[in-house]
Structure 1
Amino acid sequence: MFGKRFVVSGVIAILIGTLGACSGGGEGGDDDGIAWEQSDTTSGGDGSGSGSASGQDSAPTAQDSTVHGLKDTVRHVTVKTARATRPRRISKCSTATRRVRHTSGTGTGSRRTTRTWYTSERYRSCTEVRSGTETYRRTVRTEKWCVGLDDVNGDRARDDVWFQVGTTDYGAARTADEHARLEFTPTAEGC
């Protein structure tokens, strides 16, 4: 009984030491400022914040792996559209007739006779034709939610790395303290 408690205590001590080493501080860098939104959080100097993102609506990357690091900043890239024109297509229909063959048989064996006759049926024939042009809104830039991390996956040389995330992860990162340790599954790298 004493031996089991000793082993459990040792494992807990190793886990605490490992987690303490992963939550070291780091200074955040500035980003390029193109269509971005800085989170309105207060500065925390030691990197010990809360705010782990959950990743409930994030799609997995090709590696199907999560990333972790210290929060640098967040960015919401809004959708951008432009007015454009395209050919307008309409349906043009006309009524036409076609000949339909009918048969019926009476009797059996050598006394069987077959009667054949034809009727004309009307039907509607439609085709798509071009008729001028129409205007529409073309998407130039899609909407993205991004989180910038420092010390990505514990590598202190990997700072200012952007990841695209889902709206749930973005909301959690936005409300987290500055330099808080975040972990999420990104939808793509870059922003």
Structure 2
Amino acid sequence: MRDMSVMRRPALAGFMVVLMAALGACGGGGADKASGHGGGKGGGYSKPHSDQVRGLYDAVRHLPRKTAKGTRAHMVKECDPATRKVKHTSRSGSGKRKRTRTWYTTERYNQCHKVRKGSETYTRVVRTERWCVRLDDVNGKPQKDDLWFRVSPATYSEVHGKDEHARVKFEPRARGC
């Protein structure tokens, strides 16, 4: 026999959907106020979250890729001929006349391993290439000045051609430079 609480779940879920729709139509309930959405000056409208920043263009900075030479062990694959014993079995007969025959053969193969043979030099990347833009009055807040943002090369070129303190808006890759 089914538990009564299991049988009531669809009805309760339907009631909750209707209740949530009604509260949403009335400009939001208490749950929306706690999360910061709905109500307020927007007339029940909350704008979607965007990662774009806007502000006044201050400066740009291009940091080229930085590399360094390093050395590491040069590993070489070395193989030696080797042998191993392989066990074979065969069964024949049935009932009381069942018989198992076992024999061994020697199999040749190459046993390989890596061995250090000197050293090799390589180029490692210490810092990737970066394009950065510095903004004042970030997102309309005068106290947020001189903030650096990492941007794409296309955004860097676009912003670099503008006058100082021109209004710009872009989507940064990261904060800082």
Give 1:154's aligned residue: 140
Give 1:74's aligned residue: 60
Deviations 1:88-143 (A, max 9, x none): 11111111111000111111121111111111111111111222111111222221
Higher relative contact order (CA 8 A, sep 6+): 1
**Of 91, 101, 106, which aligns to 2:87?**
101
**Aligned residue runs from structure 1 range 33-182, under 5 A:** 65-182=51-168
AA in 1 matched with 2:106: S
- What is the rounded CA distance, in whole Å, between the counterparts of 1:72 and 1:114 in structure 2? 88
- What is the rounded CA distance, in whole Å, between the counterparts of 1:164 and 1:112 in structure 2? 78
State the identity as a percent.
53
- What is the rounded CA distance, in whole Å, between the counterparts of 2:82 and 2:50 in structure 1? 58
How far the C-alpha of 1:64 sits from its partner, in A, is: 7.2
Which is richer in helix? 2
AA in 1 matched with 2:71: T
How far the C-alpha of 1:66 sits from its partner, in A, is: 2.5
SS in 2 for 1:153: helix
AA in 1 matched with 2:58: D
Paired residue total: 131
Instruction: Return 5+ residue gaps in structure 2 as ranges.
Output: 1-48
Relative distance call for 1:183 and 1:102 in structure 2 (3 A) is same
Highest Rg: 1 or 2? 2
- What is the rounded CA distance, in whole Å, between the counterparts of 1:162 and 1:103 in structure 2? 74
How far the C-alpha of 1:160 sits from its partner, in A, is: 2.0
- What is the rounded CA distance, in whole Å, between the counterparts of 1:109 and 1:174 in structure 2? 91
Relative distance call for 1:129 and 1:64 in structure 2 (3 A) is farther
TM-score by length of 1: 0.61
- What is the rounded CA distance, in whole Å, between the counterparts of 2:165 and 2:57 in structure 1? 5
Query: Are 1:190 and 2:150 counterparts?
Result: no
Runs of 4+ aligned structure 1 residues displaced above 6 Å come to none
How far the C-alpha of 1:177 sits from its partner, in A, is: 4.2
SS in 2 for 1:159: coil
Relative distance call for 1:106 and 1:64 in structure 2 (3 A) is farther
- What is the rounded CA distance, in whole Å, between the counterparts of 1:111 and 1:158 in structure 2? 93
